[in-house]
Structure 1
Amino acid sequence: MSALRLSYFNLKSSLRPCFTFCTVFPKDFEMVKENIIQFWMANGLVTSRGNLQMEHVGNEVWNELNQRSFFQEVKSDFVGNITFKMHDLVHDLAHSIIGEECVASKVSSLADLSIRVHHISCLDSKEKFDCNMIPFKKIESLRTFLEFNEPFKNSYVLPSVTPLRALRISFCHLSALKNLMHLRYLELYMSDIRTLPASVCRLQKLQTLKLEGCDILSSFPKQLTQLHDLRHLVIIACRRLTSTPFRIGELTCLKTLTTFIVGSKTGFGLVELHNLQLGGKLHIKGLQKVSNEEDAKQANLIGKKDLNRLYLSWGDYPNSQVGGLDAERVLEALEPHSGLKSFGVQCYMGTQFPPWMRNTSILNGLVHIILYDCKNCRQLPPFGKLPYLTNLYVSGMRDIKYIDDDFYEPATEKAFTSLKKLVLWDLPNLEKVLEVEGGSEVRYNKCCQTCVAVPSIC
């Protein structure tokens, strides 16, 4: 432990609180790098430095802590999302330094909190959770409260803890949000709200807003554009949501917008995306409401160099308002930059894909492709020529006969050199699949009486 303590004191003073903050999670907890950086930001542990934005400063801090072996079991997925853990001895060191300021506990242990606690996580408890069980009033300066319990559908009143900087919570009455004027991180998961309360719009310092599994959430308040400091709007599995915030293009600090739903009215069109410098994942839904390529070009996807995942959805056929030819022009105008890692298209109504999807220099870096219910398409792009493609999913395309019908010089060229998983589903007219190299798993279902054998991937 003495050697570890020496390593800690060799850290820059600016890195030390970032390291000890990680004890807000218990031992063996798998942390997400992106989330940790956002918690650091919310608590003022990392800030912008010169021209370097606070996310990049946080990334530098995390990288240095990792290089000094304070983290372990670091894992990265195909687009670079990173998870990690702390060794038990390292966790003990951090806890011995920060003392009572960080608490990771079950519900039953939260009644005896120290008045000096700053950061709390409530984890993996089958007990019914109620904020009233926690003596918030005696805590002098609570900065972080993170609930990770299985939600119980018993609404309780969220306490007015004015100094709170980061909050993750599920079922509760959100009327007290208007009092959390210092809140910078708000995550609502599996909440039963139908609309995001207008009180959220009064959180002028909010940097990160996450909504996950809010099944009946359908709309946002118009005043959300008052959140001028908002940098990350993450929407996950909110299936009844019918629109994204009105005039979201006015949120000029926005760096992450995972879902954008195209609307027919002014303030909900693709032009709202034009000047936003977005990164990470973007899923554009409702493209059947875009009737011409000029509107599609306004999204300026080619200029969003930090995007690594892009998904485009036209919606179900019965609700579509435009024809296949219009869809082809729209998709052609939605050409992205060449740095994508994952790309998907759903319910596209055109009969062919645009030229940029056949341009291997644009799609060269892709590792993950999903094509779903593009029922009218007759031919796939030459995905076999993508050198890094590891996962290919093709489903619901009735006219496809070949997965890749491009010519390959037998002596010098091979298709799908990096493919590991090929999933083909509901392709009734499929006749041939190219032999592929380097894979390990194939799933195949033609949904017809005569099945074509799929070459083994070995």
Structure 2
Amino acid sequence: MFPKDHKFTEKKLVCAWISQNFVKCECHTEILEETGKQYLDNLVDWGFFEEFESHYVMHDLMHDLAQEVSSNECATLDILHYKKISPSIRHLSIITSDYDEEPYNFPSEKFENKLKSMGSLQKLRTLMFFGENSTMLLRSLHTLWKGTKRLRLLRIYVTAADINSTFSLLNPYHLRYLEFIVVPTREMHGCLDVINTCIPQALTQCYHLQVLDASSPDHTDLVVPPPTGMNNLINLRHIISRDKVDSTIASVGNLTSLQELTFKVQAAGNFNIRQLGSMNELITLGISQLENVKTKEEAKSARLIDKEHLKVLSLLWNDNIMRPEPTEEKTRDDVLDGLEPHQNLKHLQLSRYSGSTYSSWLASKVTSLQVLHLENCREWRIVQSLEMLPVLRKLKLIRMWNLMEVSIPSFLEELVLVNMPKVEKCVGTYGLDLTSHLRVLVLKDCPQLIEFTLFHSNYFHAKQKSCFPSLKKLSIGHCHHIM
């Protein structure tokens, strides 16, 4: 279905499989995305895909073989290698990318004639376009869609002017996966204009939609807020957008199937933190503007402690008060207590938190935590008891202005301490457990750091070949007492 050398990403590929109902979980507690990732890992092991740092590629020979064995159900329309398209085809891709560099030579009439010759593709479940010039085929596409009633996956290029008229023709009932790429139509002084566009109102009728991919190129910005009715798409699992459209959906709490969410707390009922209460399928959650949460009970209404699938949590305050009153500090501490997550959480980030208390749940209850990132928590004086987190592997402390002491646990793989002018001690249990797994060590702008266990003179033994056998990155700057 895809052009040769296409760079697949894990998320989009697995989501496409889910939209086609290819992914089956053997246990009701399993997550479809995790099962799909296992499918992908198996295909890599079997040589079907080659894995690179951030993407996957199929070898040309495997691509040719896959096309051959799937020819009864899958087809590609390419002006250079045309094959007759059977009316019983289920999955179709139209490739025009060969003309992306020469748009004025694009043979739109030939493509249109081939589209018309296909007739009605009543069994079509997948339709994908590759190449910006495919926007010239939108009129012919309207004819094709009239007979298409079972489309589950659509990847399409549209112009800002055509976006509403194009999507109004969709049959919304079966559509599960929609990726639309907005193409610019004007150029000024050799540079593409920035185009402002919006999510079409027609998409709010696609009640079975699971994936909305609006991650348009850099020259396109989505207009927010999205259309009214987005909160009716209760089967939506992923919103992929460069512009964080999910943070502007009113009453987003209705979308109980969402896997990732960026949420900005506001006083209005449609955006208060209670909206998160029933969203128990979340895997990644970022909550900002937490200064708008005033009480512990209000914080508890988010029910983070019930979200057993939640793996990544970011909590952000935008409070600029340098020295809050004692009563305000108590309020901040109560709110943080109320935001206690489920013990399965693996990655936690706290930013710009102005409370003074180190929350009890942080070091004693979130026992699966692997990454802890604290940034600009300016009233904290000490970070300790991290040895209670047995699988903690990454610790990042950045701009902790008043922090004076850090207790580091064993078996860390990454330790980052940056811009902490008052910190004096960074201590942990002596022994190779503290350094044998360390791969990244960054110490910057900690001028008062005097006691640092990792560099203690009594810690090393003469017979040791290496005290940091796994170290890959070392960066130390403006830490005068330990150099």
TM-score range relative to shorter protein:
0.7 to 0.9
Q: Which residue of 1 aligns with 2:126?
A: 144
CA gap of 1:50–1:374, structure 2 versus 1, over 3 A, is closer
Give, in whole Å, the separation in 2 of the partners of 1:296 and 1:370: 21
Within 5 Å, give how 1:355-434 maps onto structure 2: 355-359=360-364, 362-404=365-407, 415-434=408-427
Equivalenced residues, count: 410
Q: Which residue of 2 aligns with 1:250?
A: 254
Give the aligned residue type for 1:434.
V
Give the aligned residue type for 1:428.
P
CA gap of 1:341–1:100, structure 2 versus 1, over 3 A, is same
Residue 39 (structure 2) aligned to one of 52, 62, 85: 62
Is 1:232 the counterpart of 2:210? The answer is no
Offset at 1:300? 0.8
CA gap of 1:344–1:54, structure 2 versus 1, over 3 A, is closer
Q: Which residue of 2 aligns with 1:440?
A: 439
Give, in whole Å, the separation in 2 of the partners of 1:27 and 1:345: 40
Q: Which residue of 1 aligns with 2:70?
A: 98
Give, in whole Å, the separation in 2 of the partners of 1:292 and 1:71: 53
Give, in whole Å, the separation in 2 of the partners of 1:311 and 1:97: 46
Deviations 1:150-175 (CA, angstroms, capped at 9, x unpaired): x89x9996954634432345663321
Give, in whole Å, the separation in 1 of the partners of 2:259 and 2:153: 18
Most deviating of 51-60 and 211-220: 51-60
Is 1:282 the counterpart of 2:285? The answer is yes
Offset at 1:199? 1.9
Give, in whole Å, the separation in 2 of the partners of 1:306 and 1:451: 39
Give the aligned residue type for 1:346.
S
Q: Is the 8 Å Cα contact of residues 40 and 58 (structure 1) preserved in structure 2?
A: no
Local SS of the residue matching 2:178: strand
Is 1:183 the counterpart of 2:175? The answer is yes
TM-score normalised to the size of structure 2? 0.70
Within 5 Å, give how 1:174-213 maps onto structure 2: 174-175=163-164, 176-181=166-171, 182-188=174-180, 192-193=195-196, 195-212=198-215
Offset at 1:109? 5.3
Give the aligned residue type for 2:13.
I
Q: Which residue of 2 aligns with 1:222?
A: 228
Give, in whole Å, the separation in 1 of the partners of 2:206 and 2:107: 23
CA gap of 1:46–1:421, structure 2 versus 1, over 3 A, is closer
Give, in whole Å, the separation in 2 of the partners of 1:390 and 1:61: 24
Local SS of the residue matching 1:179: coil
CA gap of 1:157–1:95, structure 2 versus 1, over 3 A, is closer
Give, in whole Å, the separation in 1 of the partners of 2:262 and 2:58: 32
Offset at 1:403? 2.3
Q: Is the 8 Å Cα contact of residues 25 and 31 (structure 2) preserved in structure 1?
A: yes
CA gap of 1:114–1:290, structure 2 versus 1, over 3 A, is farther
CA gap of 1:180–1:234, structure 2 versus 1, over 3 A, is same
Q: Is the 8 Å Cα contact of residues 184 and 205 (structure 1) preserved in structure 2?
A: yes
Deviations 1:34-92 (CA, angstroms, capped at 9, x unpaired): 433321232344578996889279649827954983645569x9xxxx97555555443
Give, in whole Å, the separation in 1 of the partners of 2:66 and 2:246: 45
Deviations 1:9-33 (CA, angstroms, capped at 9, x unpaired): xxxxxxxxxxxxxx5363574441x
TM-score normalised to the size of structure 1? 0.73
Offset at 1:371? 1.4
Q: Which residue of 2 aligns with 1:335?
A: 340
Give, in whole Å, the separation in 2 of the partners of 1:127 and 1:100: 32
Give the aligned residue type for 2:168.
K
Offset at 1:292? 1.1
Q: Which residue of 1 aligns with 2:92?
A: 119
Give the aligned residue type for 2:228.
K
Q: Is the 8 Å Cα contact of residues 24 and 119 (structure 1) preserved in structure 2?
A: no
CA gap of 1:381–1:64, structure 2 versus 1, over 3 A, is closer
Offset at 1:304? 1.0
Q: Is the 8 Å Cα contact of residues 145 and 166 (structure 1) preserved in structure 2?
A: yes
Give, in whole Å, the separation in 2 of the partners of 1:114 and 1:391: 55
Give, in whole Å, the separation in 2 of the partners of 1:190 and 1:330: 41
Q: Which residue of 1 aligns with 2:471?
A: none
Offset at 1:187? 3.3
Larger Rg computed on CA atoms? 2
Offset at 1:132? 9.7
Q: Tell me, which stretches of 5 or more residues in structure 2 are unaligned?
A: 184-194, 429-433, 456-466, 469-483
Give, in whole Å, the separation in 2 of the partners of 1:268 and 1:288: 14
Local SS of the residue matching 1:206: coil
Give, in whole Å, the separation in 2 of the partners of 1:357 and 1:329: 13
Give, in whole Å, the separation in 2 of the partners of 1:319 and 1:172: 47
Deviations 1:258-282 (CA, angstroms, capped at 9, x unpaired): 2222221112222222122223211
Offset at 1:432? 2.3
Local SS of the residue matching 2:16: helix
Offset at 1:188? 4.8
Q: Is the 8 Å Cα contact of residues 422 and 446 (structure 2) preserved in structure 1?
A: no
CA gap of 1:198–1:74, structure 2 versus 1, over 3 A, is same
Offset at 1:119? 3.5
Instruction: Provide the identity percentage.
Output: 24
Q: Which residue of 2 aligns with 1:412?
A: none
CA gap of 1:308–1:48, structure 2 versus 1, over 3 A, is closer
Local SS of the residue matching 2:405: coil
Root mean square deviation, CA, Å: 4.3
Local SS of the residue matching 1:291: coil
Local SS of the residue matching 1:416: coil
Most deviating of 131-140 and 285-294: 131-140
Give, in whole Å, the separation in 2 of the partners of 1:345 and 1:354: 11
Offset at 1:416? 3.2
Give, in whole Å, the separation in 1 of the partners of 2:289 and 2:357: 19
Give, in whole Å, the separation in 2 of the partners of 1:123 and 1:155: 10
Give the aligned residue type for 1:127.
E
Give, in whole Å, the separation in 2 of the partners of 1:442 and 1:68: 33
Give, in whole Å, the separation in 2 of the partners of 1:124 and 1:451: 57
Give, in whole Å, the separation in 2 of the partners of 1:453 and 1:171: 60
Q: Is the 8 Å Cα contact of residues 190 and 212 (structure 1) preserved in structure 2?
A: no
Most deviating of 205-214 and 65-74: 65-74
